Amino acid sequence: MSEDLARVEKFLAENEAGYLEELKAFCRIPSVSADPAYREAIAQAARFVAGRLQQAGFDRVSIVPTGGHPVVTAELCRMPGAPTILVYGHYDVQPADPLERWTSPPFEPAVRDGRLYARGSSDDKGPLLIPILAAEAWLTQCGSLPINLKFLIEGEEESGSPHFSGVVAALRDSLACDLVVSADGAMWRADLPSVTVASRGLAALDVIVHGAAKDLHSGRHGGSAPNPIRVLARLLASLHDEEGTVTVADFHAGVIEPDPAILQAIDAAIDVGAFDPRTYFTGIGASLPEPLPSGRRLLMRQWLEPTLEFNGIHGGYGGAGTKTVIPSQAQAKITCRLVAGQDPTAVKDAIARHLRQRVPSGYRLEIVDHGPGTPAFALDRDHPALRMTEDILGELLGRQPLRVAMGATIPIGAVFRSELDVPTVFFSFATSDEDYHAPNEFFRLANFRVGLIAWARLIDRLKDLRSCD
């Protein structure tokens, strides 16, 4: 270890107590992006981030307006010729409801059992604060950073980032970099170091079946009038086979083989007992299917296979008792998770074609397209930054991390790829069990400590990024 890095790590370790107080202060700001009632808190959180970057010594700190909540940008680019890294994170948080299920109030941070309980502590205020503090430590202890570092911190991640790709496009020149490192994301399991190297894409559409122009009495008209629920059920049932595999023609068009490292990671996860089918189904409170699928099969389905899921279905009467109505329409909400090689628009077109071919006469089919969707994300398996993050985690956590995929969609990977033409690696110290979209969100203080050291080392090693290319 270089003397510089040793000094940085020592400084970080000595200042932990103060960092925790700063994180608590950050978590006291109820920056809920989805609820307009928290608009002032959002502005306050943006100012907090900007102020902290300023205090750390960053240049050109800006709060940049968007069509929604602002982004915060900053840079410390004083090393001509060294690699330039853009750090991504977000200062907004999920809503805190239901409040009554919190043990301590969501915006009054409380430490219990080595965990900091607060809304946003894990997603993403703790993980986001870490690289700022690590950069500051480099600057104060060594007078400079070995790389050029930029920050882009958004305020709408928990609301679907509606303005994000536009902002990245608009700021393309000032965000130019060699690599994005995301401080958002989460390690798969608390007991098993991992890095995320792929995530599924997303395509969304609504299917609406129309029958008569108004709701009809099911006594008078039952048997002769069109029933859109019946037809919708038949249409939806035609989209999968009995095992739940999508049967839509061309749905799987273009799918490419997954990174063998992910398949190896699945096997490794099963081997170390990190994923057990029985525990999985029990954990989500579902009864066990028979025969029980293997863990490998389930992880394949979560990580590496596309899905067509029904997220909602609605039509007719839903209250207590009965109402003898034939509704004029029924609708379903569909989202597909996509794997590498699938084109979101082509997938939606294939589904629309499938349904249009099957809608019987006497009914009208309406399909609502929810935007362009997001292709799957996959990091180049040989990217040197990926190796660096794996090595650092291996050193600090005692075992080489697994390469894992995410079933969920990470739109930023696709945005940075298309707008800045750079890959994104994930280096977050949150863990996926930290209830970050539920009551009693917490952040493990042990991971806060490890994260500070890990980021200090990553800043050090990334100076060699270009020479590894």
Could you write out the DSSP letters of every residue in 140-190? HHHSS-SSEEEEEEES-GGGT-TTHHHHHHHTHHHH--SEEEES-S-BSBT
Contact residue for a second copy among 10, 101, 172, 217 (CB under 8 A)? 217
* Preceding amide of 226 cis, omega within 30: no
- Using CB under 8 A, pick the residue from 179, 216, 265, 378 that binds a second copy: 216
Q: Is there binding between residue 347 and a second copy (CB under 8 A)?
A: no
Q: How far apart are CA 109 and CA 129, in angstroms?
A: 15
Is 364 a binder of a second copy (CB under 8 A)?
A: yes
| Minimum CB–partner distance for residue 10 and a second copy (Å) | 38
Select the span of 66-74, 84-92, 169-177, 300-308 touching a second copy (CB under 8 A).
300-308
Pick the stretch among 37-45, 129-137, 298-306, 415-423 that binds a second copy (CB under 8 A).
Answer: 298-306
Residue 51: enclosing H or E segment and its boundaries? helix 39-56
Q: Is 359 in contact with 365 (CB distance < 8 Å)?
A: yes
Tallying the residues shown for the chain, one arrives at 469
Would you count residue 101 as binding a second copy (CB under 8 A)?
Answer: no
For residues 147 and 236, which CB has a smaller minimum distance to a second copy in the complex?
236
Q: In whole angstroms, what is the distance from residue 375 CA to residue 344 CA?
A: 6
Is 90 among the residues that bind a second copy (CB under 8 A)?
Answer: no
Per-residue contact flags (x/-) with a second copy for residues 224 to 243, judged by CB under 8 A: xxxx-xx-xxx-xxx-x-x-
Q: Which of residues 253-292 bind a second copy (CB under 8 A)?
A: 280-281, 284-290
Q: What are phi and psi of 357, to 5 degrees?
A: -65, -20
Beta-sheet pairing, 110-112 with 84-90: unpaired
Q: Identify which range of 24-32, 301-309, 346-354, 450-458 contacts a second copy by CB under 8 A.
A: 301-309
**Which C-beta is closer to a second copy: that of 80 or that of 285?**
285
Q: Which residue in the set 7, 333, 387, 463 belongs to the binding site for a second copy (CB under 8 A)?
A: 333
Among positions 324, 353, 372, 421, the unique one binding a second copy when judged by CB under 8 A? 324
Q: Is 315 in the site for a second copy (CB under 8 A)?
A: yes
Residues 6+ apart with CB under 8 A from 306: 200, 246, 251, 252, 255, 336, 337, 338, 339, 342, 347
For residues 101 and 440, the answer to whether their CB atoms sit within 8 Å is: yes
Closer residue to a second copy, CB minimum distance, 2 or 294 = 294
Cα separation, 158 vs 90, in Å, equals 9
Half-sphere exposure of residue 102: CA atoms within 13 angstroms, side-chain side: 22
Among candidate residues 7, 122, 2, 8, the one with its CA nearest the CA of residue 452: 8
Residue list 155-214, contact with a second copy (CB under 8 A)? 160, 200, 202, 204, 211-214
Tell me the window of 76-84, 85-93, 251-259, 311-319 that interacts with a second copy (CB under 8 A): 311-319
Residue 386 Cβ vs a second copy, minimum distance, rounded to whole Å: 22
Q: Is 111 in the site for a second copy (CB under 8 A)?
A: no
Cα gap 269→273, rounded to integer Å: 6
Residues 397-426 that bind a second copy (CB under 8 A): 406-409
| C-beta closer to a second copy: residue 186 or 261 | 186
